[in-house]
Amino acid sequence: MNQELLEWQEETAEIIAELMEDGSNPDADYPIEHHFAAVDFDSLEKLAVDLFKAGFEVEDAEEVELDDGATVFCFDATKEGSLDVERITTEIATLLPLCKKYHVDYDGWGTYFAE
């Protein structure tokens, strides 16, 4: 496992631990939202197509102005599943090469508290 993926694995474990400490339901299925951003809309769109084909629910891209005035395009791709470090890290391991292929930044993942 490369260094970047190890860092994502550690962050994933921390996020899950925090949710469990807050009382989130360990047995629930969670919407895991992976976040992506790129300066080139066409690259982002190509990634979105690949993610849709891979079974992700892909949101429409949004244009966002950064603090420095630069513009980026971003979207989330979601897949439901257990809140499991190995499962989520495996998803990230699949996503990172696609991001590199299309020159898109992977900006992490998130989910919601479940009762």
Structure tokens at 95: 């996503």
31-83 confidence digits (pLDDT tens): 999 999 999 999 999 999 999 999 999 999 999 998 999 999 999 999 999 99
Q: What is the enclosing helix (H) or strand (E) of 58?
A: strand 57-58
Q: What is the C-alpha to C-alpha distance for residues 114 and 81, in angstroms, rounded to an integer? A: 12
- The one-letter code for the residue type at 6 is L
Expressed as residue numbers, the domain containing 77 is 3-111
pLDDT digits (tens, 9 = 90+) for 3-38: 999 999 999 999 999 999 999 999 999 999 999 999
Overall pTM surpassing 0.85 (yes/no):
yes
Split into its structural domains, the chain has a count of 1
- CATH number assigned to the domain comprising residue 23: 3.30.70.970
- State phi, psi for 97 to the nearest 5 degrees: -65, -35
- What residues contact residue 49 under an 8 Å CB cut-off, 6+ apart? none
